[in-house]
Amino acid sequence: MSKGLFITFEGPEAGGKSTQIALLKEFLEENSKDVVMTREPGGTAAGEVIRNLLQHDKAGENMVGEAETLLFEASRSQLVAEVIRPALSEGKVVISDRFADSTVAYQGYGRGFGVEAIGQLNDFATGGLKPDITFLLDISVEDGFKRIDDRNAANNTSKDRLESEAVEFHERLRDGFLEMAANEPERFVVIDAKGTIEEIYEEIRDCVNMRL
Ligand SMILES: Nc1ncnc2c1ncn2[C@@H]1O[C@H](COP(=O)(O)OP(=O)(O)O)[C@@H](O)[C@H]1O
Ligand SMILES: [Mg+2]
């Protein structure tokens, strides 16, 4: 049975994940690849309900960090079972907008729950599934905030629950992402998100091309 390619995009908010995923999907499809795109939290019917609770629903306002963490894992386990594993076993390319590394960064480093504890929860939720390639779009907290504000102004939206966390929280999670990348250099590709959209796209495209 052919095995597909599992690609994830990670990093602080507004690093350009969605922008680059759209470009990569187009490139792969032009090259006759079967692409499945998904996002976290969400990507399944149950997962999208969980996403709303985590991001915007008033019911989520007083949620403790432990509940938040487990909801991310609940969404992830459903996504792996229902979408990601079946697509990979059919030989497809799966691109996920965030995955298990985000929980290590946001809850492990950001909330201080610890990398090891979150790693165990991730393994439980994913059955140990790891991405083949993880693009880390690295952006400074200051530049990220600027882009979030611009994007919210353009879309007439407001910051979601995690975007509204303090600067120190965002510093911790950015540093956490970089530490994770340093610990797994064979999986992570760190990209400076300050480059132009075209420059970053070319870097990502070349890297994926080599793995196809
Ligand atoms: N390389 C880039 N340089 C400048 N602005 C960018 C770049 N990539 C994306 N943007 C803009 O920054 C904002 C955040 O990008 P987005 O792709 O939504 O990031 P993410 O999905 O990581 O949150 C958007 O308004 C987007 O148009
Ligand atoms: Mg996005």
Run means of pLDDT, 10 residues per run, the chain, 212 residues: 87 96 98 95 96 93 95 98 98 98 96 96 98 98 92 89 86 97 98 97 97 90
Q: In the structure, which protein residues have their CB atom closer than 6 angstroms to any atom of ligand 1?
A: 13-19, 147, 150-151, 195-197, 200
Cα–Cα dist 153/146, whole Å:
11
pLDDT at residue number 2: 56
Question: Which residue has its alpha carbon closest to ligand 1 atom 11?
Answer: 16
Cα–Cα dist 181/187, whole Å:
8
What residue spans define the domains of the chain? Answer: 5-211
Q: Which of 20, 98, 143, 147 to mutate to test the pocket of ligand 1 (most atoms within 8 A of CB)?
A: 147
pLDDT at residue number 160: 83
Structure tokens belonging to residue 182: 């340093």
Strand segments, DSSP code E, in 24-106 are 35-39, 93-97
Q: Residue 119: is it exposed, middle or buried by C-beta count within 10 angstroms (0-12/13-18/19+)?
A: middle
pLDDT at residue number 1: 45
Cα–Cα dist 150/127, whole Å:
38
- 160 — alpha (psi -120 to 50), left (phi > 0) or beta? beta
Q: Which bound ligand lies closest to the C-alpha atom of 40?
A: 2
pLDDT at residue number 165: 81
- 147 — alpha (psi -120 to 50), left (phi > 0) or beta? alpha
Cα–Cα dist 120/124, whole Å:
6
**CATH superfamily label, 5-211:** P-loop containing nucleotide triphosphate hydrolases (3.40.50.300)
The number of the ligand 1 atom at minimal distance from the alpha carbon of 151 is 25
- Classified as helix, coil or strand, 63 is coil
How far does residue 210's CA lie from ligand 2's centre (Å)? Answer: 25
pLDDT at residue number 101: 98
How far does residue 193's CA lie from ligand 1's centre (Å)? Answer: 9
